[in-house]
Structure 1
């Protein structure tokens, strides 16, 4: 994932910062508790395609 791209990408819902999880190939929004997938090196920033992170899971 390009570092410059990570600097400008934000959550499409709350416009908050995202956390890059390289091993999981996801961008995480802590505020909305959503994980946006990265497919073939391209972030899929659609809320409908994001995975919801349960409240009992700690986001680091």
Structure 2
């Protein structure tokens, strides 16, 4: 994932910052509790394609 791209990407729902989780290939939004998938280095920033994070899953 390109570092410059990570700097400008925000959550499409709340416009908040995202955290990249390399092992899962996901961009995480803490306030919305959503995980956006990254396929072949391309983030899929659609709310309908995002995974809802369970309350027990930690975001770091």
Give the root-mean-square deviation of aligned CA atoms. 0.7
Compute the displacement of 1:40 (Å): 1.2
* Alpha-carbon distance in 1 for matches of 2:19, 2:44: 14
User: Structure 2: any 5+ residue segments left out of the alignment?
Assistant: none
Give deviations 1:3-54, integer Å, cap 9, x for gaps. Answer: 0000000000000000000111000000000000001110000000000001
* Structure 1 residue ranges, 4+ long, deviating more than 3 angstroms after superposition: none
Residue 23 of structure 2 is aligned to residue 34 of structure 1 = no
CA positional deviation for 1:56: 2.1
Segments of structure 1 that go 5 or more residues without pairing to the other structure are none
Task: Give 1:47's aligned residue.
Answer: 47
With normalisation by structure 2, the TM-score equals 0.95
Higher RCO (CA 8 Å, separation ≥ 6 residues): 2
